[in-house]
Chain A
Amino acid sequence: MILRYTFKERIVHWVAAFAYVYLLLTGLAFYTPKLYWLAVVLGGGTTSREWHPWAGLVFVAATVLMYVMWASDMRITEGDRAWGRAIGHYVRNEDKHLPPVGRYNAGQKYLFWLMFLGGVLLLISGVAMWFTSSIPWSLRWLRHWAVLVHVSAALATIGGFIIHVYMGTAVVRGGFTSIVRGEVSEEWARTHHPLWKR
């Protein structure tokens, strides 16, 4: 077995994951009345509204740590662009037609940057929404844009989140175990990330 994710990486990932899921559920409750029951299940609208920004800070803290740990691995290379152009093969499980990848493939890298940039936008707009009362009326455009940026960035990350969970659990078997226990088999590494640990 090969160590793919250190203990620290796994902890940070799961802190981000649990914070994100809480933010997603409470956020969806505020997004549409048809899902407001999520807030009710999670302790009521006021509780959800009270905790949502604090969970956001936890998510941001985990995102910053992920940036520190992984940003260097996530640099988009020429090989990634070639992989991106051939992504149709990846979708159809014809991986042998794809350029070989290292620790992360281009899809994973783009997901990382989507979540990172989404996190930055959600933080900035979220702080503005948290302290709406403190935004003077002359700067009311900030109140308006904060609402729009927050929901737009959230929707973008939800798209990434759906694909990430699907790929990591259903498609790439062994991926979920790797982020829980940290280890992958040699065959797994050779198949999915041939240039990593070579």
Chain B
Amino acid sequence: MAGNTLELKRISASAAPPPGIRDTPVLAKYIDTTTCIGCKACEVACQQWNDLPPETTVQIGTYQTMPDTTANFWNLIRFSEFEDAGGFHWFMRKDQCMHCGDPGCLKACPAPGAIVQYVNGIVDFQQDQCIGCGYCMAGCPFNIPKLSSKTKTVYKCTMCVDRVAVGLEPACIKACPTGCLQFGTKEQLLEVAAKRVDQLRESGFREAGVYDPPGVGGTSVVTVLAHADQPELYGLPSNPSIPLAVSFWKAPLKWLGNIAMIGGIVATAIHYLKYGAKHAHGKDS
């Protein structure tokens, strides 16, 4: 979904600076895993609003619709179980693109304009510019971008950028019956989350907290976890960052490579000017 150029904050593989000059607040989704009832209305709303063809569900021994998000299934409630001294816990977490502040997918992408980030924080794929190389799948710390075998391009949650652009909330938020999903500015939602965390702590969940990992520049998904000290229990990495191999390639290695390639060509030119060609000796030499 093409957005307004005035709102482009980052553009993949772009040699020119992004033109976004609008001063808009960063928006976010709020996900309270402690009040989610696992009804999957958000899954249905996502499919319906985006007109995505149905995916065959896969039974993996839990209530989960399928093992993972796919190219046309962008919103998945993950069910997980966990037992400790406090008893048995059943977690439900809405999984989708986290809309990172510093998106690894965008950093890794070699196709100009195939991944953009708007000033409001939404990270969006432009499939008409995507070349299907899969670098974003190496750059993402959350395993979100999925390659469609049908179109050979990559898809993920758009945060309903088309709805947000006209002042509506994303479809998943709209459908949530418990209010565990909310939409607003990230600043507001962090306050909501902080209050909820206080409540949870008072109720005995001493490790309750907000998941907004700094390693990826924060995310435009503000997640409340009852056990924030162990995000892995919810299928979230504890300290996500752009993979070292990707950031090393895109910064020092690239500069070294550029210097080496240009240096190599310049060195051969200088060598030729100084020493010239090697000629075969004549018969009498």
Specify which of A31, A36, A143, A145 is in contact with B257 (CB 8 Å cutoff): A31
**A6 part of interface (Cβ distance < 8 Å):** no
Specify which of B138, B245, B246 is in contact with A132 (CB 8 Å cutoff): B138
Q: How large is the interface on B (under 10, 10 to 19, 20 to 34, 35 or more residues)?
A: 35 or more
A174 to B131, CA, bound (A): 42
**A109 part of interface (Cβ distance < 8 Å):** no
A146 to B152, CA, bound (A): 20
**A140 part of interface (Cβ distance < 8 Å):** yes
**A129 part of interface (Cβ distance < 8 Å):** yes
**A108 part of interface (Cβ distance < 8 Å):** no
Question: Is the beta-carbon distance between A185 and B277 smaller than 8 angstroms?
Answer: no
Output the least CB separation between A140 and chain B (Å): 7
Q: Decide: A132 near B143, CB < 8 A? Known: A145-B245, A173-B277.
A: no
Question: Is the beta-carbon distance between B137 and A33 smaller than 8 angstroms?
Answer: no
Question: Which B residues touch A166, using CB under 8 A?
Answer: 268, 271-272
Q: Which residue of A lies closest to B132 (CB)?
A: A49
Specify which of A33, A144, A145 is in contact with B13 (CB 8 Å cutoff): A33
Give the residue among B68, B146, B245, B276 with the most A Cβ atoms within 10 A: B245
**A147 part of interface (Cβ distance < 8 Å):** yes
Question: Is the beta-carbon distance between B272 and A170 smaller than 8 angstroms?
Answer: yes
Question: Which A residues touch B143, using CB under 8 A?
Answer: 137, 140
Specify which of A91, A144, A159 is in contact with B244 (CB 8 Å cutoff): A144
**B278 part of interface (Cβ distance < 8 Å):** yes
**A92 part of interface (Cβ distance < 8 Å):** yes
Stretch at the interface among A8-16, A72-80, A114-122, A148-156: A148-156
Question: Is the beta-carbon distance between B112 and A33 smaller than 8 angstroms?
Answer: yes
Question: Is the beta-carbon distance between A170 and B268 smaller than 8 angstroms?
Answer: yes
Output the least CB separation between A57 and chain B (Å): 17
Question: Is the beta-carbon distance between B245 and A144 smaller than 8 angstroms?
Answer: yes
Q: Decide: A30 near B137, CB < 8 A? Known: A147-B249, A148-B248, A162-B261.
A: no
What are the interface flags for B110-135 relative to A under an 8 Å C-beta threshold, 1 for contact and 0 otherwise?
11100000000000000001011111
Specify which of B244, B245, B280 is in contact with A192 (CB 8 Å cutoff): B280
Question: Is the beta-carbon distance between B132 and A46 smaller than 8 angstroms?
Answer: yes
Q: Decide: A49 near B281, CB < 8 A? Known: A31-B257, A159-B260, A162-B264.
A: no
Output the least CB separation between A166 and chain B (Å): 4
**A188 part of interface (Cβ distance < 8 Å):** yes
Q: How large is the interface on A (under 10, 10 to 19, 20 to 34, 35 or more residues)?
A: 35 or more
Q: Which residue of B lies closest to A188 (CB)?
A: B280
Name the prevailing secondary structure of the A interface residues. helix
Question: Which B residues touch A185, using CB under 8 A?
Answer: 280
A192 to B279, CA, bound (A): 9
Specify which of A95, A129, A148 is in contact with B134 (CB 8 Å cutoff): A129
Question: Is the beta-carbon distance between A187 and B280 smaller than 8 angstroms?
Answer: yes
Output the least CB separation between B123 and chain A (Å): 18
Question: Is the beta-carbon distance between A162 and B110 smaller than 8 angstroms?
Answer: no
Question: Is the beta-carbon distance between B15 and A34 smaller than 8 angstroms?
Answer: yes
What are the interface flags for A36-56 relative to B under an 8 Å C-beta threshold, 1 for contact and 0 otherwise?
100100000110111000000
Question: Which A residues touch B68, using CB under 8 A?
Answer: 137
Q: Decide: A147 near B246, CB < 8 A? Known: A171-B272, A172-B278.
A: yes
Sampled A-B contacts (30; CB under 8 Å): A29-B110, A33-B14, A33-B110, A34-B15, A36-B112, A39-B131, A129-B135, A132-B134, A133-B146, A133-B149, A140-B143, A143-B138, A143-B243, A144-B244, A147-B249, A155-B256, A158-B260, A158-B261, A159-B264, A162-B264, A162-B265, A162-B268, A170-B277, A171-B271, A171-B277, A174-B280, A187-B283, A188-B280, A190-B281, A192-B278
6 tightest A-B CB contacts, nearest first: A132-B134, A144-B245, A148-B245, A33-B13, A45-B131, A143-B138
Q: Interface on B for A, CB 8 Å cutoff?
A: 13-15, 68, 108, 110-112, 129, 131-135, 137-138, 143, 146-147, 149, 152, 243-246, 248-249, 253-254, 256-258, 260-261, 264-265, 268, 271-272, 275-283
Other A-B contacts than A147-B135, A148-B245, A171-B271, 20 sampled, CB-CB below 8 A, are: A29-B110, A31-B257, A33-B110, A36-B112, A45-B131, A95-B278, A129-B134, A129-B138, A132-B134, A133-B147, A147-B245, A148-B249, A148-B253, A155-B260, A159-B264, A166-B268, A170-B268, A171-B276, A173-B277, A174-B280
